[in-house]
Homo-oligomer: A and B are copies of this chain.
Amino acid sequence: MTVPTSGRSSARRADAQRSIAAILEAAVNALSRNPDASVSEIAKAAGVGRVTLYGHFPNRADLVEAALAHAIEQGHAALDAVDLTGDTRQALTRLIDSSWLLVNQSRSLLLAAQTVLPPSRIRDLHAGPVERVEGLVKRGQDDGVFRSDLSTSWLIGVMHNVMHTAADEINAGRLDPDQAAGFITATVLAAFTPPGRRVPT
């Protein structure tokens, strides 16, 4: 799914696979730095000719999509290690700890994708990660630990955007990166607390 699987009978040659891998990695890096990175830029960073790149990805949009899919897949795999059982608030804390850096780093890449891909496509690509968070948040709501007067998707959106707050603050030099995770969890846990209940310390 990461790579264009357009009707190909025999497997790709080894060097082609290497090229594709290099291109994807370079694309993720370049687009994460600058959402408007050109195809030439990416090809050069991948140590590959521009023509070669076009041999694997028909146009820039497809390349960006593949890069985003690649990054998401990687992140998704990395988060499989996180233990989401037990106390819901602690589970959420663990999830934030391991995911906020990933989210932060892919911010610019996501922006690139948004300018080139239809919103539906982007939502599809995010289906996996969203599902994981959604399950956790819903469990918290069912247990009464998280508020239910706001929709699940809203809470997920808030969590996501609070991570962006951290990125902004760090970028502006107003927040020490080491403190970021703590700020995020403190804020999210408070925001998720049901009305009338005490905010966890």
Chain A interface residues (CB < 8 Å from chain B): 36, 115, 119, 123, 147, 149-151, 153-154, 157-158, 160-162, 164-165, 168-169, 171-172, 174-175, 183, 186-187, 190-201
A35 shortest CB reach to chain B, Å? 9
Say yes or no: B191 contacts A196, CB within 8 Å: no
Q: How far is the CA of A154 from the CA of B184 in the complex (A)?
A: 10
Q: How far is the CA of A104 from the CA of B123 in the complex (A)?
A: 21
Number of copies: 2
Report 7 cross-chain contacts, Cβ distance below 8 Å, ordered by A residue.
A149-B186, A158-B187, A161-B161, A162-B162, A164-B164, A186-B195, A190-B193
Q: List residues of chain B with CB within 8 A of the CB of A187.
A: 150, 154, 158, 191
Q: How far is the CA of A119 from the CA of B169 in the complex (A)?
A: 12
Q: Select one of B154, B199, B200, B201 contacting A165, CB under 8 A.
A: B154
Given A154-B187, A193-B199, 17 other A-B contacts at CB below 8 A? Answer: A36-B115, A123-B172, A147-B199, A153-B169, A153-B174, A157-B165, A157-B168, A161-B164, A161-B165, A162-B162, A164-B164, A186-B195, A187-B191, A190-B190, A194-B199, A195-B200, A198-B198
